[in-house]
A and B are shown apart, each in its own frame.
Chain A
Amino acid sequence: MSILTEVTAEITLSARNLTRRFGKLEVIHGLSLQLKRGEVLGLLGPNGAGKSTTLQMLTGCLVPDSGEIEICGIDLRAKPVAAKSHLGYLPETVPLYRELCVDDYLVFAARLRGMKQTASALAEVKQRCGLEASGKKIISTLSKGYQQRVGIAQAIIHSPSVIVLDEPTVGLDPAQIRDIRTLIKELGKVSSVILSTHLLGEVQSVCDRVEIVQQGRLIYSDTSAHMQRHGKVSGCLISLQNPPPLQELASIAGVSSVESLSAGQFRVLYAENGNPGSVLLSMAENNGWQLTQFTPTQATLEEIYLQITDQSRINP
């Protein structure tokens, strides 16, 4: 079933060999992307990597120096109007006319994208973004989180095929972040979503696929599940009230290294295929080490991310 959907899923956004320079400084070097319907792509990268510039080019706000962009099969440069009607874009700074009320603003955004009947779309988008009670409020009086919601609402009100979100959860509180992530996942079922972020948790929780950008190049591209397994070394934290010498722990079959964190607390690392957990437990019981804590640990996304970006910095 999953193979079938993968084959039939249409490609909604494709960018080939984008380059962009500002003056003499080339910020994007031959970047290519592809996005299918029903997919959430996370564009990950450190500050100044070229994420926002890439998204600006994908939405027609900036013209690339070379390269092609197609949205739903329509060339963005040759037919900008037709291509952009499939697009919803939330820039880094939310483009809000602060003096308007939420309803007026959203209706304007919908009409701008060529919608004629806006009443039902407006009601639906307000419900999705949790803005039901804010329709008549002036945007400048809303809190940052609500303004961000209005920004997302304007990007999706016309149900576009491609939704581009530039750091959608910046400045939100944890509950709002959770809501927005749920919303993005929902959107990703029918449209394709591309979002930029430097929050790894965001990638982990909402994205199907990750592209890591560094210095204007894609340096890593894979599903987010795969990324979590990238270069993984498994390990566990153990606490023993009556610990044996370090060498004894290190000599257990499968253990690759043991590190003493404090008196009685150790970090045990082992290769992915040989988990020494059960051996360790039985030895602890037989030798009276008095085990009080046994916590499996995973390499965090942060560690993996740093590993990937470091690697490319050393051998670009």
Chain B
Amino acid sequence: MIRLIAMRELKSLFALPSTWFMLAALQFVFAWFFLARLEAFLEIQPQLAQLANPPGVTITVAAPVFNMAALLLLMLTPMFTMRLIAEERRNQTFALLLSAPLGSRQIVLGKFLGLMIFLSLLIADIPLMLYTLALGTSLDHGMLLGNMLGLLLLTASYVALGLYVSALTVQPLIAAIGALCVLAGLWLADIGAAADDSPWHLISPLNHFQNFNVGLLDSNDAVFFLLFSSFFLLLTMRRLDNNRSYG
């Protein structure tokens, strides 16, 4: 059932022209940024070569590309999550799911999984692009892998939060802006907090991504993402049950 709902989400996404437009535009932005970073790297490369232990191409080109993708996803994910529940409720298609023999758990996980598959496809072309560098130089595979894993976990936390906000309202626009505000708020509070031990650092998903970004695999960060995602998924399930009770 979860797979069925996920596949339906994907089918609907790929049936919409806006999805393809978004994919194309994002691909263009990633490629543009990648080339800009690559150009900058090539310019300073002679100077880097004089250093005793120079930073490689992975940390100077790949890491910033992943970091930018993380920021872009922060702004993009709400556009997709708003469709998941809020738009279905506004179009009254949600009644089909509510009257079908399945529980809130399956609805929420199906929708989460569907969007995760789509966003994974979307971010999968970043490593593809980066691996073209392997033609001319050697890459730090471990760091790339860490970044990809981090980006996936980060996306999962975005989607879970967006899904919850989407379940709170029947207005897709409010769902999108609401999720964006929370995500951007967490990010801004994180970079705004001066103290190193400020709690804002602890609850900001983007902050936990930074370790992955520099190639550091910390189980703390992974656990944070898992907890953050499951917390909001559980809240969404609760919310759907409550919607049935309170109309």
Contacts and interface: CB of A to CB of B under 8 A. Distances in A.
Interface residues of B, number: 23
A95 B100 CA distance: 12
Interface string A44-61: 000000000000100111
Max chain A Cβ within 10 angstroms of own Cβ: one of B11, B94, B100: B100
A112 B245 CA distance: 22
Interface in A194-218: none
B42 to A, nearest CB: 44
Given A22-B247, A82-B101, A114-B101, A95 B94 contact: yes
A222 interface: no
A112 B12 contact: no
Nearest to A64: B245
Nearest to A83: B101
B92 A112 contact: no
B90 to A, nearest CB: 10
Given A85-B101, A99-B12, A62 B93 contact: no
Given A81-B103, A100-B15, A114-B101, A154 B4 contact: no
Contact of A60 (B11, B15, B91, B99): B99
Contacts of A108: 4, 8
Interface string A218-242: 0000000000000000000000000
Given A108-B4, A111-B4, A95 B96 contact: yes
B99 A87 contact: yes
A154 B95 CA distance: 12
A59 B95 CA distance: 9
A91 to B, nearest CB: 4
A306 B76 CA distance: 55
B227 to A, nearest CB: 29
Contacts of A89: 95-96, 99
Contacts of B244: 60-63
B11 A112 contact: no
Contacts of B12: 97, 99-100
Contacts of A154: 96
A93 interface: yes
B15 A112 contact: no
A91 B92 contact: yes
B223 interface: no
Contacts of B100: 84, 112-113
B11 A100 contact: yes
B66 to A, nearest CB: 32
Contacts of B98: 59-61
Contacts of B99: 59-61, 84, 87, 89, 91
17 contacts: A59-B95, A59-B98, A60-B99, A61-B244, A62-B247, A81-B103, A93-B91, A95-B93, A95-B94, A95-B95, A95-B96, A97-B8, A104-B11, A108-B4, A108-B8, A112-B102, A113-B101
Interface of A: 22, 56, 59-63, 80-85, 87, 89, 91-100, 104, 108-109, 111-114, 138, 154
Interface of B: 1, 4, 8, 11-12, 15-16, 91-103, 244-245, 247
Please give me the 3 A-B residue pairs with the lowest Cβ-Cβ distance, nearest first.
Answer: A93-B92, A99-B15, A95-B96
